[in-house]
Amino acid sequence: MSADLSSPSDFADRLVAWQKAAGRHDLPWQKTRDPYRIWLSEIMLQQTQVATVIPYFQRFLARFPTLQALAEASPDVVSAHWAGLGYYARARNLHRCARQIVAVHAGKFPESTAELTALPGIGRSTAAAIAVFAFGRRAAILDGNVKRILCRCFGIAGNPGQAAVDRELWALTERLLPEGDCEAYTQGLMDLGATVCTRSRPRCGDCPLGESCRARLEGRQSELPTARPRVKLPERRTTFVQIGRAHV
């Protein structure tokens, strides 16, 4: 794996400096260490844009201001307040997770990524984000935005959904993780992918990593990450014989 960035620390330093100067700082779930709010925002933001999430997040908190309130609600009530946000398995897992934290962890979020990942609906990257923002832990995220940044910046070909590419990206994101400023670094990855290194029409001129980005240098922004191959529909040949009675 090659890269034009001089070192992992250079990658992190550029990203942290950019986030502090140009990143997002006023989202409703920022400036808090409340794991409930951070967890809720991370679940809602899965496959959903920030602008869509904000009003849902605010209404959801107004109805379920605490983890205990969410755990005590009925599944139908929770689903009703999720209606319109899509991907409804998230709401079901959210409710199951709240009840499990209350029942197993006495209503207190576990702090380690291993324990967080064991909860319903919390994957490896989401667990890392919660650990970083709520508990100040050092942990690497790898959501869709981060995969796009890494594939472009380091020229990694192959569909990120493939196991080998996924392993390579996890190894890379772990290697790039700085020793300090993990919150600004993690938020920087999220902000960069959401606002600059977008799926279409990336704003490469505004990117703090642009001068070293392999995709930009080679004009391959539209090619990376490699798209998932289309499933070829099977072709079948069938012969029909129509039997009818002749009319005289």
DSSP per-residue string spanning 113-166: HHHHHTSTT--HHHHHHHHHHHH--------HHHHHHHHHHHT--S-TTSHHHH
Active site residue 223: no
183 within 8 A of 134, measured Cβ to Cβ: no
With a CB cutoff of 8 Å and minimum separation 6, the contacts of 73 are: 64, 95
- pLDDT recorded at residue 230: 72
Which amino acid, 54?
Answer: I
The pLDDT of residue 7 is: 76
Residue 125 to residue 123: CA distance in whole angstroms? 6
- Show the domains of the chain with their CATH numbers: 8-218 (1.10.340.30)
Average pLDDT, consecutive stretches of 10 residues, N- to C-terminus, the chain (248 residues)? 64 97 97 97 96 98 98 98 96 98 97 98 98 98 98 97 97 96 98 97 96 96 91 66 63
Cα–Cα distance list, 239 to 2, 4, 200, 234, 246 (Å):
55, 59, 45, 17, 21
pLDDT of residue 242: 64
Q: Which of 180, 124, 131, 115 is nearest to 147 (CA)?
A: 124
**Greatest CA span in the chain, whole angstroms?**
92
The secondary element (H helix, E strand) that includes residue 188 is helix 182-195
Identified catalytic residue from 42, 111, 115, 211: 42
Cis geometry, peptide bond prior to residue 234 (ω within 30 degrees of 0): no
Q: Is residue 97 within 8 Å of residue 121, measured between CB atoms?
A: yes
The tokens for 188 are 């920087």
- Separation between Cα atoms, residue 144 and residue 141, nearest integer Å: 10
